[in-house]
Every structure is written in structure tokens, then in C-alpha cells.
């Protein structure tokens, strides 16, 4: 894929962020999500790729657009698979909480795991701790290995995990090992990526979250040189059949980063909707709005911070033109 596509994918996430950001704190997560989906889909029509949504808003009969299998882009080469989450953290936006993002991951056809919408057990770290984690190892053993890699004491590590009753045992084990804990209400894509970005204060992700979100986070970690491992957790016969349908005969297989995202020819883009550990949220200033985005390319390892000023017309959420500042 050509590097020029990087800014095209950022335009996609910017549009979704600008649209859903208007609804921050309004208490309507469905409306915020729909605004993001509509805006993202519109801009995808202008991107010069022949794309197929492999992770999106649901099956064809569940979502009117950005459904799994939907074709997006102008229909010209390259042929790519696309994973999208127009609004990662619907509850975060509706309540005005931190770390809501709009994200998209793009890879050549067949290079993204077509994960069904079920749970996935996950562990993730940044590049300095790559090769030190094992999803099947005890929590304390992973913390010790990461601390050694980072040349710190375990007590100086911060583990991030969704605040859910199902994680009570893991949280207790982290605390017993002496590490610090950062509990989040939603949004484990942002949490996983934060492990690989300096100065976020996050060192390791534990816990169970959505499998589609796991693949999207894995794409970002591939670009950043981090590591992620996962295991699908089908609940019942129907979910097991969905796992088998995607080509995994062994639902209990330990999925390494290369199983989740194959190859290095990957693009990942994210735009902040609300303020977070990595990205500032959307700011509105009358006829202008400001966004903060990341775009990464796996094949080169380039990570760009993009601050953009968008000049808005009177039509809500329509981006007329942008002044963009790039920062590698």
C-alpha cells in the first residue's frame, strides 16, 4: 500500500470524531455512534482503495452501513481489508469521559483476523517488553518479566484493565504482586495502544474484552513494535460455530500477534474524540474545529501525530478544508 494513503485514512477517522464529538456528554450513546458511522462511511467513499470491511458494525442484517463484507472506497487498487470502530467507547462519549477514539486499521486482503463479535482474553505490552509476556503464565510472572525488561521494580509498573466483575481475580493478583492498577470503564483499544507509547504511564494490559477490538489494537501494536497475545472465548455452541466459520478449528488456540495481524504492510489511524492518555479530544471554535490524530505505518514503523484545524460550513459535521500540522 502506498504511503500517501496515510492521510486518507486519517480523514476517515477525523470525520467520525468531528461528528460524534458534538454529542459528548449528551447521554445518547446510540446517536453518537450513528453520527460517527455516517460520517466515516461518507468519507470512505472518497478513498482510493478497493476495501472490504472485515471488522465493523456487525453482520449485514445487523447494521445498515460499515457492516462486515461491505465494500468501501472508490474501487481502485489496492485491494484491502478494513477494520473499523467509528466510535470506540460509546459510553465514554455519552458521559464525557476520557479516551474515546475513532479508529481504522487497513491491511492487504487476508491479513487481518476476521474475529467474530465475542470475547477475547488479552495481554499486551510495548516494544521494550516484547517477548516477555505469556497469556498462559500467572499474572505475577508476567509482571516480573515486564519489570525486568523495563529495568524497574514491579511496584513501579502500571497495569491497565477494564473495571468488570469478571476481572476481580486478575485485579487482586496484580495488587498482590505489588503493581499499580489503572481501572477503566470502557475502551480497551486505547488501553492496549497506550502500553506501547511513552509517557502514557501504562505498561501492561490484562483482561477480557471484545475480539474485534483486539484485532484493531493488534494492528496498532504491530506498527509500534509492541506485542499482544489473545485467546477467543466463545460462550456456547453458536459462538463456537462462528469461531469455526472464520477458519479456526481450535477455539482455544493461543493467538500471537502474527495470528491477529499478518505481515507488516499495515496502516492504523486514530483520532481523539474525548481527551485521553494519547490524544486530545475534538475542540470546537465556532466555524472551526481542531482534532488530534495518530497515523502509523507498519512497514516503516513511522508514527505521525497530526494536529488539524478544520474549517466547517454551516452544515453540521461537514469538513470543508483542513490545515494540517504533521509531527513525526
Closest Cα to residue 204, out of 254, 252, 140? 140
Tens digits of residue pLDDT in 173-218? 999 999 999 999 998 999 999 999 988 999 999 999 999 999 999 9
- Name the DSSP class of 201: -
Q: Give counts: helices (H), strands (E), the chain.
A: 9, 14
Domain residue spans of the chain: 5-111+266-327, 119-260
Buried b (16+ CB within 10 A) or exposed e, 274-294: bbbbbbbbbeeeeeebbbbbb
The rounded distance, in Å, linking the Cα atoms of 192 and 227 is 10
- What is d(CA 299, CA 264) in angstroms, rounded to the nearest whole number? 5
Local confidence pLDDT in tens for the 328 residues of the chain? 677 899 999 999 999 999 999 999 999 999 999 999 999 999 999 999 999 999 999 877 677 899 999 999 999 999 999 999 999 999 999 999 999 999 999 999 999 999 888 999 999 999 999 999 999 999 999 999 999 999 999 999 999 999 999 999 999 999 999 999 999 999 899 999 999 998 899 999 999 999 999 999 999 999 999 999 999 999 988 888 888 887 777 888 999 999 999 999 999 999 999 999 899 999 999 899 999 999 999 999 999 999 999 998 755 444 444 555 555 5
Enter the C-alpha cell of residue 72: 468501501
Angle at 57 between CA 202 and CA 223, to 5 degrees: 40
For the domain 5-111+266-327, what is the CATH code? 3.30.540.10
pLDDT digits (tens, 9 = 90+) for 286-310: 899 999 999 999 999 999 999 999 9
Phi then psi dihedrals of residue 247, to 5 deg: 105, 5
pTM of the model: 0.92
CATH of domain 119-260: 3.40.190.90
Amino acid at each position: 500500500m502506498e504511503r500517501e494513503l496515510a492521510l486518507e485514512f486519517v480523514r476517515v477517522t477525523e470525520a467520525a470524531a468531528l461528528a460524534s464529538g458534538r454529542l459528548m456528554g449528551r447521554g445518547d450513546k446510540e446517536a453518537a455512534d450513528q453520527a460517527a458511522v455516517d460520517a466515516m462511511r461518507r468519507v470512505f467513499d472518497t478513498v482510493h482503495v478497493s476495501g472490504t470491511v472485515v471488522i465493523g458494525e456487525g453482520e449485514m442484517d445487523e447494521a445498515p452501513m460499515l457492516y462486515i463484507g461491505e465494500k468501501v472506497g472508490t474501487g481502485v487498487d489496492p485491494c484491502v481489508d478494513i477494520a473499523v470502530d467509528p466510535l470506540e467507547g460509546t459510553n465514554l462519549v455519552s458521559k464525557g469521559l476520557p479516551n474515546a477514539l475513532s479508529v481504522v486499521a487497513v491491511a492487504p486482503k487476508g491479513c487481518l483476523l476476521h474475529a467474530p463479535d465475542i470475547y477475547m482474553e488479552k495481554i499486551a505490552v510495548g516494544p521494550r517488553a516484547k517477548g516477555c509476556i505469556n497469556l498462559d503464565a500467572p499474572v505475577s510472572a508476567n509482571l516480573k518479566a515486564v519489570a525486568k525488561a523495563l529495568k524497574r521494580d514491579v511496584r513501579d509498573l502500571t497495569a491497565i484493565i477494564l473495571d468488570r466483575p469478571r476481572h476481580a481475580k486478575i485485579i487482586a493478583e496484580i495488587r498482590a504482586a505489588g503493581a499499580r492498577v489503572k481501572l477503566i470503564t470502557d475502551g480497551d483499544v486505547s488501553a492496549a495502544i497506550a502500553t506501547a507509547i511513552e509517557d502514557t504511564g501504562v505498561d501492561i494490559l490484562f483482561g477480557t474484552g471484545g475480539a474485534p477490538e483486539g484485532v484493531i489494537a493488534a494492528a496498532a501494536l504491530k506498527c509500534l513494535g509492541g506485542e499482544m497475545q489473545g485467546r477467543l472465548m466463545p460462550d456456547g455452541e453458536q459462538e463456537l460455530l462462528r469461531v469455526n466459520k472464520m477458519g479456526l478449528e481450535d477455539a482455544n488456540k493461543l493467538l500471537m500477534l502474527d495470528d491477529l495481524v499478518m505481515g507488516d504492510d499495515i496502516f492504523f489511524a486514530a483520532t481523539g474524540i474525548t481527551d485521553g492518555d494519547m490524544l486530545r479530544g475534538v475542540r470546537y471554535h465556532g466555524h472551526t474545529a481542531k482534532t488530534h490524530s495518530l497515523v502509523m505505518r507498519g512497514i516503516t514503523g513511522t508514527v505521525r501525530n497530526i494536529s488539524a484545524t478544520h474549517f466547517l460550513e454551516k452544515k453540521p459535521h461537514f469538513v470543508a478544508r483542513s490545515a494540517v500540522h504533521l509531527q513525526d
